Amino acid sequence: MLSDRRQRVLAALIEEYVACALPVGSRTLTERYQLGVSPATVRNELSVLEDGGYITQPHTSAGRIPTDIGYRAFVDSLLETGFSGDEESGRTAVDELRRSASELDALLEQTSSALTRLTDCLSIVLAPSVLNLHIKQLSLISLTLHRALVVLVTEDGQVFNRQIDFAEPVSPDELAHVQAFLGDVFTGKSLQQIEEGLEWGMMEALHDPLVRLVLEEVLSCLQESELSRTHRLGVSSLLTKPEFSQSQVLLPVMQVLEDDTVLLHLLDDAVRQADGAPCVRIGRENDAAELAGVSVVASRYGRGESAGVVAVIGPTRMDYSKVIRAVRIASAALQDV
C-alpha cells in the first residue's frame, strides 16, 4: 500500500506522461504540480516508486514512465475512492445519447461513436446476445404463394425479420398452421433453448418439411444477427497515438481483436461484474501477448442473461479517469435497453 504522498507523486507522473508521452523528470513534477514537498523529497519518492516497480527509467539519463504495476495502483485508487467525474454532465450525456436514437442498434452505434469521441480510443459495444433473449411473438406473413415474411419480436422489443422463398406453393392457411405450432414452441423461450432443440415437441414436427424450412430460416436469421451485434469504432484514433504510429505495431492488436472468441474472453470479466462496476485490464494483465501494450476498460449493461458490454481499448498510457467516466456514461445510457 502506497502512502498518500507517494500516491500523489505517482498520480502526477502518470498525468504528465499521459499528456506528453515522454519520460517525466523530478523537475517537471516539482514545477508543474502542487505536491507540497521539496524537490529532494520528490526525487526520493521517485526512487522508492522505482524500487517498488511502479515506475521505470527507459534510459539512464531519462525521466521515468509508469509500469503496468504503477497504472494498476493508480486505477485501483480511482475505483476505491468512488471516482465518478462530473455527475451532472454525465446525466446530460446519457440523456443526449438516448434521445439521439430510437432503436437499439442505432443507440449502440451512437454509443460507440460517443465513446470514441470522448476517449480518442477504440470503442467496442457488444449488444445483448440474441440467443439469450426471449421471444414474445412469431408471425408468418404470406407475401405470395412462393414467398413469406417471418417476423420475430423479443420481450425487450427487438424485431428480427427475414423473407423465406418456397419451391412449392404454400397457402396462407398452411402458413397459419406453421405459425401456430412454432409460436407455441418459441413464445417465452430463449433462442438458445430453441437452437439446441430442447423442446421435445419440436422434434416430431421437424418431419414436416415446411416446419423444418421455416425453423432453419428463423435460426439462420438469428445467427446472422448475432454475428453483426458488435459495434467497433476508433481504429484511426489508435493510429494517432505515438505507441501505434506505425501500422505494423497496431496490426497484431487488431488481428487479435477481430477474433470474436478472444474478444468475448477479453470482456468476460466485465460480464461477470454483478454490480456493473468498470473492469480494467492493464497491459500484461491481458491473456493475449499481442495485447501487452493496451489497456481495456469495460462495463456490462442490461440485466441477467441479456447483458451487453461497453468497452474502450487504448494504449496503457490512456487517460484512465476520462475513460472510466466515459464507460460509465455509456453503460448508464444502455442500462434499460
pLDDT at residue 58, as a whole number:
87
Q: Which of 183, 206, 227 is the last residue of a domain?
A: 227
Same domain, 20 and 102: no
Same domain, 329 and 233: yes
Same domain, 108 and 146: no
Q: What is the CATH number of the domain that holds 111?
A: 3.30.450.40
Taking Cα atoms as reference points, which of 221, 283, 302, 291 lies closest to residue 258? 291
Q: Which of 201, 227, 253 is the last residue of a domain?
A: 227
Angle at which helices 320-334 and 87-100 pack, to 10 degrees? Answer: 50
In a 13 Å sphere around the CA of 251, the CA atoms on its Cβ side amount to 4
The whole-angstrom distance between residue 110's C-alpha and the CA centroid of its chain comes to 13
Same domain, 110 and 180: no
Same domain, 9 and 25: yes
pLDDT at residue 198, as a whole number:
45
Same domain, 167 and 213: yes
The answer to whether 179 and 171 have CB atoms below 8 angstroms apart is: no
Residues of the chain with confidence (pLDDT) below 50 = 198-200
Helix, coil or strand: residue 111: helix
280: domain range? 87-128+229-334
Please state the domain count of the chain: 3
Q: What is the CATH number of the domain that holds 182?
A: 3.30.390.60
pLDDT digits (tens, 9 = 90+) for 271-284: 776 666 889 999 99
Tell me how far apart the alpha carbons of residues 279 and 300 are, in angstroms, rounded to a whole number: 9
pLDDT at residue 106, as a whole number:
76
Same domain, 106 and 251: yes
* pTM score, whole prediction: 0.72
Same domain, 252 and 211: no
pLDDT at residue 329, as a whole number:
86
Same domain, 247 and 112: yes
Helix (H) or strand (E) holding 163, with range, is strand 159-165
Same domain, 93 and 154: no
Same domain, 185 and 297: no
| Angstrom distances, CA of residue 83 to CA of 76, 225, 321, 328 | 10, 36, 8, 11
Taking Cα atoms as reference points, which of 279, 285, 283 lies closest to residue 267? 279
Q: Which of 80, 95, 117 is the last residue of a domain?
A: 80
Cell of 106: 442505432
The DSSP call for residue 134 is: B
Same domain, 235 and 329: yes
Taking Cα atoms as reference points, which of 273, 253, 272 lies closest to residue 263? 253
The DSSP call for residue 277 is: -
